[in-house]
């Protein structure tokens, strides 16, 4: 077998996917109540189009798209709107949200199916994806329709599906690829058609050989779709790294995938696109891994958007005793939560519960001893050691000379740092103090 596709440097944290990898995606219990933030995507928040007291049905638009870079939000259950107010969001901020109390009926609007969906035109695909409220499900939640509409002068050659799932612990994308390979392939075909390219790739890390095989089988009749096996290395699934690994193309500093002729979408996004185009189904649920040594029974769920974390934790048998951290997302880039009453949003790939044993580090950190470990592994080829020292000393302006804004906060440097320095925190601080 040929050498695995990969990028330079990077780290290899404990994968820990075994906790939930064998668990099929099951439907989470119908939530009693959902909190649906009007902003679950990059760009302008949606505009609420329901009022307190309104009865809503599943799939009904409750927040309308505002502007081009934005996305609508839909009711994920049927019931009554009981509040429209600021609520805690997994990002740590409070965001205007629509709260729906379930009527227990789960009644949905009639959906318009398209049996010959593969014959939809590029414009029809983009419009339907936009109206379904589909955003990048890998975590960044960028409106998919916008990504599919690059400016005319940008020549796009490939659509790449991201099945790397390089974050430790998470297995939602993996299960999706095992359980819905054909749907994902069809989703990819639609995405390719939307951007007008003939070549598609799916990148999957080598620790998921069965997913690679399933996807290869599903793509066997598609000469234009190639499944690429990637080396198991973090952050293999970062857009820039993935494009480099698969095409050898390097996105210029501060550039976008379209600058090198590529559009990247998550496998979950392709699946959602398929469902939206084939069945007319808006994005009201997604696959979420609930895992970690701090949860009694790790599981992969299909979760209604807006379901509170506490409900999912309960459905997994609750915490084991020594829980110290609850994270929305993966352990490398996820957000630690101070409350269990935050909702699953479109960008939520997992809920990770860490125990004392996983969380070996304390908050105590030491001076940089300049061992160079972080320089050796920074996937962006930066000098994290220098950046952290400059930020620590308040020399924020100087951080720009060291390409601070190329950093996408993957956390690899903090992972290897023997002095336990809060690298990402230093970088965020510096980024907030200077203009790019």
* Residue list 68-97, contact with other proteins (CB under 8 A): 92
Letters for 243-282 (x = contact with other proteins by CB under 8 A, - = none) are -x-----xxxxxx---------------------------
Closest distance between other proteins and the C-beta of residue 398, in Å?
10
Site for other proteins in 357-376 (CB under 8 A): 358-361, 363, 366-373, 375-376
| Beta carbons within 8 Å of 321's beta carbon, 6+ residues apart | none
Residue 201 binds other proteins, judged by CB under 8 A: no
Which of residues 89 and 240 has its CB atom nearest to other proteins in the complex?
240
Closest distance between other proteins and the C-beta of residue 61, in Å?
31
Which of residues 279 and 319 has its CB atom nearest to other proteins in the complex?
319
Residue 411 binds other proteins, judged by CB under 8 A: yes
Judged by CB under 8 A, which of 80, 422, 431, 434 binds other proteins?
A: 422
Closest distance between other proteins and the C-beta of residue 99, in Å?
18
Closest distance between other proteins and the C-beta of residue 5, in Å?
16
Site for other proteins in 388-407 (CB under 8 A): 402-403, 406
Site for other proteins in 208-237 (CB under 8 A): none
Residue 13 binds other proteins, judged by CB under 8 A: yes
How far is 343 from 320, CA to CA, in rounded Å?
21
Residue 26 binds other proteins, judged by CB under 8 A: no
Residue 332 binds other proteins, judged by CB under 8 A: yes
């Amino acid at each position: 077998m040929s050498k695995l596709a990969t990028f330079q440097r990077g780290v290899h944290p404990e994968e820990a996917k075994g906790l939930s990898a064998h668990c099929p995606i099951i439907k989470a219990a119908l939530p009693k109540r959902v909190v649906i933030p009007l902003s679950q995507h990059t760009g302008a928040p949606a505009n609420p189009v329901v009022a307190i007291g309104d009865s809503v049905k599943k799939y009904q638009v409750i927040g309308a798209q505002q502007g081009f870079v934005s996305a609508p939000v839909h009711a994920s259950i049927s019931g009554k709107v009981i509040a429209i107010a600021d609520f805690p969001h997994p990002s740590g901020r409070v965001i205007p949200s629509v709260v729906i109390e379930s009527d227990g009926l789960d009644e949905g609007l009639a959906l318009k199916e398209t049996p010959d969906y593969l014959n939809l035109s590029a414009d029809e695909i983009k419009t339907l994806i936009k109206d379904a409220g589909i955003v990048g499900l890998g975590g960044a939640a960028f409106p998919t329709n916008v990504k599919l509409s690059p400016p005319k002068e940008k020549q796009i050659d490939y659509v790449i599906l991201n099945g790397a799932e390089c974050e430790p612990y998470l297995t939602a994308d993996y299960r999706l690829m095992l359980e819905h390979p054909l749907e994902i392939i069809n989703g990819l075909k639609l995405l390719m058609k939307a951007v007008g390219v003939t070549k598609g790739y799916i990148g999957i890390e080598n620790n998921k050989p069965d997913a690679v095989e399933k996807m290869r089988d599903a793509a066997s009749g598609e000469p234009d779709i190639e499944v690429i096996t990637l080396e198991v290395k973090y952050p293999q699934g970062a857009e820039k790294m993935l494009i480099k690994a698969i095409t050898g193309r390097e996105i210029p500093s501060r550039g976008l995938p379209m600058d090198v002729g590529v559009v990247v979408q998550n496998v979950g996004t392709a699946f959602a696109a398929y469902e939206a185009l084939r069945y007319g189904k808006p994005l009201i649920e997604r696959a979420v891994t609930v895992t970690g040594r701090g949860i009694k029974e790790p599981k992969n769920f299909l979760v209604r958007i807006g379901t509170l974390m506490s409900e999912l934790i309960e459905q997994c048998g609750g915490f084991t005793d020594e829980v110290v951290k609850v994270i929305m997302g993966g352990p490398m880039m996820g957000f630690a939560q101070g409350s269990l009453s935050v909702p699953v949003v479109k960008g939520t790939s997992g809920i990770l519960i860490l125990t004392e044993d996983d969380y070996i580090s304390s908050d105590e950190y030491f001076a940089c001893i300049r061992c160079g470990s972080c320089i050796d592994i920074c996937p962006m080829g930066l000098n994290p050691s220098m950046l952290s020292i400059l930020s620590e000393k308040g020399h924020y302006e100087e951080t720009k000379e060291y390409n601070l804004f190329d950093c996408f906060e993957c956390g690899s440097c903090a992972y290897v740092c023997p002095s336990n320095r809060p690298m990402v925190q230093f970088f965020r601080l510096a980024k907030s103090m200077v203009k790019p």
